[in-house]
Amino acid sequence: MQFLELVNRSYTGEAVSKDDWAMDHVVQPIMDVVDEFDLNREKGAFLLHDREQATAYFEAGVELLARSGVYNQSIGRVIRFTRDEILAAARAMKQQVTVGRGRDAYTFVPRHPDDSRLPGVVAGNPGCPMTEELFCRTVTSWAKEPVVDMVTCGSIVEVDGCEVRRASPSEVIALRRELKYLNEICEKVGRPGIGRLAAESSVSEIGDLAAMAPGGFQPGDAHLVALNNELIINNDNLIRVANAIGTPVLNASLACVMVGGLAGAAPGAAVCMIASLLALSLIGRADYHLCHPIHIRHVATSTDECIWLSSVVCQAFDACAPAVIICDIYPKSGAGTVELLREVAANALAITVSGGHLEGVGSCDGLKPNCSGLEARLMGEVGKAAAAQGMTRAQAEPIIARLHDGYRHIFGPGNEGLPFDEVYGEDGEPRKFWLDMYKQVKEELSSLGLKL
């Protein structure tokens, strides 16, 4: 389908207020679809084990998108899609996505539940606010990890002592600096061609346009094209899509559905996530998808509801429309805490056995730069070890439950941990106490049956 033909539906669709969109096109239709397809989550479940249920969730997502469409908030009108268009886009999703260049290139493929093929690992904390100095130090800490297949980064929020403001000269400069630093860091760690999910400092479409300048995006790099909550897009993100047409830059779709928000509890939120990713296959021209559930109270992806949602989404696409699904890991805890490592391990294990790829770590909910490369190392090691030993969902779920018991106490009070320079030394390596915690959690995992 022609991209502009879909965009032009923004100008011909029915006019709807934002409040009416939320109630009439999100809340009520999701409740109806969940009821019609008899969808539920077994109490205490972390993973989905039923392929028929996975199919039902996918069909419910198609039904929701066909009924509701997507709201273009910039115009105040609804973009409609037919069922045939939705299914055609689902069938057309890429079966191979190569990021990076040369010897550093990596190819993502759709994975299956209980798959022995290793998950790809994207390391970084997208969106986390960073100074320029901290940006460089943190990205270096995970870019050099051999287990990492692609890198991403936080957002530079200050340049030359000035706050980065939306759609201003400071945003353009921040984007140019971000790409310059990524080029230098990847060269320095001996991985000049590694793929980057970049333009994270882009507050508006202006920054994304700036990243196309010479020295910016390279072939096999990706940028984000997002839906806002829930099933909402704006011209900012549509311009990002247009900006990539005819270039080698990949579109990484992003949906951050709220569990407990307008979509309701985990089953409704899972349906909304599937519908969102399908919409981004159409209007966002997605090359691959990022699944990022957010718990309305606890934010983190490491709640039992969010872990289960990611498991459902991966399996729903595998059952009906195989695609590259990468799941974000955003724990509640920050660096320098044993709980962070347990949260990372639980997320990584659940995503891997459900058929997804891994991205993270957005430590401390991605709100503070209390992060490091060590938890990204553990994320990749857990995912790749689980796949290599052929771990199944049935084997993984008790391990995830034990890990969850070891960190669930941090929901509510929080657990922000320590800033980067308190967990990594000037030599760019983890401090001893942080490395000791990492070794402790690896021993825990080995005792639970994960062959690290």
| Element housing 77 (H / E) | strand 77-79
Angle at which helices 338-354 and 432-447 pack, to 10 degrees? 40
Q: Rg of the chain's alpha carbons, rounded to an integer?
A: 20
Domain ranges in the chain are 97-447
pLDDT computed for residue 103 by the predictor: 97
When the pLDDT of each residue in the chain is averaged and rounded to a whole number, the result is 97
**Average confidence (pLDDT) over 58-81:** 98
Mean pLDDT of 378-396: 98
Rounded average pLDDT over 59-67 = 98
Mind giving me the DSSP string for 283-351? TT--SEEEE--EETTTB-TTSHHHHHHHHHHHHHHHHHS---EEEE---SB-TT-HHHHHHHHHHHHHH
Rounded distance between C-alpha atoms, residue 218 and residue 104, angstroms: 13
Instruction: Give me the count of residues in the chain.
Output: 452
DSSP assigned state of 104: G
What single string gives the DSSP state of each residue in 163-202? E--TTSHHHHHHHHHHHHHHHHHHHHTT-TT-EEB--TT-
CA distances from 397 to 47, 352, 444 (A): 7, 12, 15
Name the residue type at position 260.
G
Closest among 113, 96, 94, 108 to 54, alpha carbons compared = 113
At 115, give phi and psi (nearest 5°). Answer: -80, 140
Please name the residues in contact with 388: beta carbons below 8 A apart, sequence gap of 6 or more.
Answer: 116, 118, 451
Residue 323 confidence (pLDDT): 98
Assess contact for 199 and 154: CB atoms under 8 A: no
* Range 142-169 average pLDDT: 96
Q: Are 39 and 57 in contact (CB under 8 A)?
A: yes
pLDDT band at 127 (very low <50, low <70, confident <90, very high): confident
Distance from C-alpha of 297 to C-alpha of 289, rounded to nearest angstrom? 25
Where b means 16+ CB within 10 Å and e means fewer, 128-158 reads: bbbebebbbbbbbbbbbbebbbbbbbbbbbe
Residue 227: beta bridge partners?
Answer: 255
Confidence check: pLDDT of 119 > 70? yes
For residue 179, pLDDT beyond 80 = yes
Mean predicted confidence (pLDDT) in 361-376? 97
Q: How confident is the model at residue 38 (pLDDT cuts 50, 70, 90)?
A: very high
State how far the Cα of 233 lies from the Cα of 230, in Å rounded to an integer. Answer: 9
Residue 272 has pLDDT above 70, yes or no: yes
* Cβ–Cβ under 8 Å, residues 251 and 242: no
H helix or E strand, kind and range, residue 6: helix 3-8
pLDDT tens sequence across 407-433: 999 998 989 999 999 999 999 999 999
For residue 31, what is the DSSP state? Answer: H
Distance CA 247, CA 49 (A): 40
Amino acid at 310: S
CA 90/CA 88 separation, integer angstroms: 5
* 76, pLDDT greater than 70: yes
Helical residues (DSSP H) of 9-108, grouped into ranges:
18-20, 28-36, 51-68, 83-91
pLDDT above 70 for 1 = no
Q: Which phi and psi (to 5°) does residue 387 adopt?
A: -65, -45
CB-based burial, 300-317: b 16+ in 10 Å, e otherwise:
bbbbbbbbbbbbbbbbbb
SS3 assignment, position 83: helix
Percentage above 90 pLDDT, the chain: 99
Phi and psi (nearest 5°) for 154? Answer: -80, -175
Sheet of 121-123: strands edge to edge? 195-196, 150-151, 121-123, 357-360, 325-328, 288-291, 250-255, 222-227
Residue-wise pLDDT for 9-33, tens only, equals: 999 999 999 999 999 999 999 999 9
pLDDT at 193 (0 to 100): 98
Count the Cβ atoms, other than its own, within 10 Å of residue 83. Answer: 12
In tens, the pLDDT along 286-320 reads 999 999 999 999 999 999 999 999 999 999 999 99
In this structure, are residues 300 and 339 in contact, taking their beta carbons and an 8 Å threshold? no
pLDDT of 110 above 70:
yes
The answer on pLDDT for 120 being more than 80 is yes
- The answer to whether residue 52 scores a pLDDT higher than 70 is yes
Alpha helical stretches, state H, 389-431: 393-405, 420-423
Please report the pLDDT score of residue 3 as a whole number. 95
What is the topology classification, in CATH, of domain 97-447?
TIM Barrel (3.20.20)
Render pLDDT for 206-218 as a digit per residue (tens, 0 to 9): 999 999 999 999 9
